[in-house]
Amino acid sequence: MSYLPFTRPTLDEATIQGVTEVLHSGWLSSGPKAKEFEAALSAYFGGRSVRAFNSGTATLEVALQLCGIGPGDEVITTPMSWVATANVILHVGATPVFVDVDPLTGNIDLDRIEAAITPRTKAIIPVDLAGLPVDRDRLYAIAKKQGLRVIEDAAQSMGATWQGKKIGSFGDLISFSFHANKNMTTGEGGCLVLSDEAQIPLAEKLRLQGVERFPDGTMDVDVAGGKYNLTDIAARIGLGQLKQVDGFNRRRRELVKHYFTCFDRSLGCGLPQENFTDSNWHMFQILLPLDRISRGEFIEQMKQREIGVGVHYPSIHLFTLFRRMGFKEGDFPNAEKIGRETVTLPLFPAMELADVERVCTAVKEIIEASRK
């Protein structure tokens, strides 16, 4: 039986041929395709200003810089995310302030945010875990009341919606990732949706070494930027993917509905919320019954059946880097529980319904046979 990975990008022949054309063009770094990709993204997000970057991490860090956040400032975020969400706060010299998550959604618990706000708090970075959007109405009401910026870590929620509106088509600063395991990819890459056209010049300078070029061929640097530009090779992949992302997401919803139909709920696993309105179903995650089987044993048993699974995510505050800052076990019990128990099952558009059935059968056999 062939190996079933937990995710795999879908690249059509037109996109592959398009990349070949870029390679033949001789313009491989940022150029006409990057500009075309930004224009296409802008149209997708309702005409908002968009700039493409070489990673979703870069977009988050630049967003913090656009907000003027630095040493002495605090940024509220979730411990249940990829570690980049917290690392970028450290990179600009600010302090991450974690708030525990809702045990049902895995998203930051909006009821706990205001208690974490201090005079040093400057922004909130929420994360849409597995593509399930945080309640944007409540989030922005809190931010407005407290005078805070919002930098949406929408790395996982490309094509997701809130109240019928695409994530990215409204709000403050919105960061997307186009990593290879996301719902659409550029191989590596991301984009930042800006709330104000006046932010564009600084965003562009921060993206490429702080350089500002003038018509007479001279240039100046007045800010320390990075090397975050997206290549035309990656942009051409993105142009092909963007045309398909809504179709990809429809297929993901079909597969997830089949997961819910086939999954044996008597196994004692925690299942995600059955949201087919807003979520783009970036991942299908379950919580294992650790009183019956360890995660390591489960992963190994799935591997023996040629099925790949992932772990998304360990709770950030328990990494050594953050323990050195004083965080410890017990600080955020909901995130810690999810971090211990979570596994990500296979989900990608090229899967067949039979693949879902294969996974559900394997999970059932493994857990029923366990004698932990």
Which DSSP helix (H) or strand (E) runs through 61? helix 56-66
Q: Could you say which of 122, 166, 182, 205 is catalytic?
A: 182
| Residue 361 token pair | 């059968």
| Residue 1 token pair | 């039986």
Q: Please, is 214 exposed, middle or buried when counting C-beta atoms within 10 Å of its C-beta (0-12, 13-18, 19+)?
A: exposed
Torsion-angle region of residue 240: left (phi > 0), alpha (psi -120 to 50) or beta?
Answer: alpha
What is the pairing mode between strands 211-213 and 219-221?
antiparallel
Q: Is there a catalytic annotation at residue 35?
A: no
| Residue 185 token pair | 């990819």
Quick one: which of 69, 37, 66, 32 has its CA closest to 225?
66
Residue partners of 217: CB distance under 8 A and separation at least 6: none
Helix pair angle (84-91, 56-66), 10° resolution = 40
The answer, yes or no, to whether the previous bond of 44 is cis (omega within 30 of 0) is no
Give the integer Cα–Cα distance in Å for 126 and 80.
10
User: Could you list the active site residues?
Assistant: 182
